[in-house]
């Protein structure tokens, strides 16, 4: 799985003009299941995201996790994180997981964050979504489960 994590002051996702998920301070996580992701990948990635220390402490150092600050997480599926841009001008997405399994892994990721005690809002898998955010910092982190042993 791939995740693009943004520290936010607030974030919201809308479908057809209707707000379906919003958070205050916390993380916006854009996530993509990749072909070959094992069944345990969502829980492992969720644990890494939950422990990621990118929030400021009293010394103004990035030393606190989203749980430490009492923040929330907005999880939005984004298959375009699988983009292959090595050739040509049109990205390819053949390494993204098939939609049916991709949705299962996406939902498991969101549930794994909930199981860790985090408040989680979500987008709608496969929908045309409008995501708005106020990036805090800005702080943006890339994670790929394939990069970790």
Nearest to 70 by CA among 26, 5, 122: 26
Catalytic residue among 6, 41, 78, 122: 78
Catalytic residue among 35, 80, 93, 140: 80
* Rounded CA separation 7/83 (Å): 23
Other Cβ atoms less than 10 A from the Cβ of 78: the count is 19
Please give the backbone phi and psi of residue 8, each rounded to the nearest 5 degrees, phi first.
-125, 150
Q: Is 79 a catalytic residue?
A: yes
Q: Is 122 a catalytic residue?
A: no
Catalytic residue among 41, 79, 109, 122: 79
- State the burial class of residue 127 (Cβ atoms within 10 Å of its Cβ: 0-12, 13-18, 19+): middle
Give catalytic residues, as residue numbers: 78-80
């Amino acid at each position: 799985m791939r995740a693009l994590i943004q520290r936010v002051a607030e974030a919201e996702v809308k479908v057809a003009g209707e707000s379906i998920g919003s958070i205050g301070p916390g993380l916006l996580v854009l996530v993509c299941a990749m072909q070959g992701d094992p069944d345990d990948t969502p829980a492992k990635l969720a644990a890494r995201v939950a422990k990621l220390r990118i929030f400021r402490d009293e010394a103004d150092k990035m030393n606190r996790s989203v749980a430490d600050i009492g923040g929330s997480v907005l999880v939005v599926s984004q298959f375009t994180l699988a983009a292959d841009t090595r050739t040509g001008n049109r990205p390819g997405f053949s390494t993204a997981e098939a939609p049916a399994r991709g949705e299962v892994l996406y939902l498991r990721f969101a549930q794994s964050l909930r199981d860790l005690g985090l408040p989680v809002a979500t987008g709608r898998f496969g929908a045309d979504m409008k995501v708005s955010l106020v990036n805090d910092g800005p702080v943006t982190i890339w994670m790929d489960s394939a990069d970790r042993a």
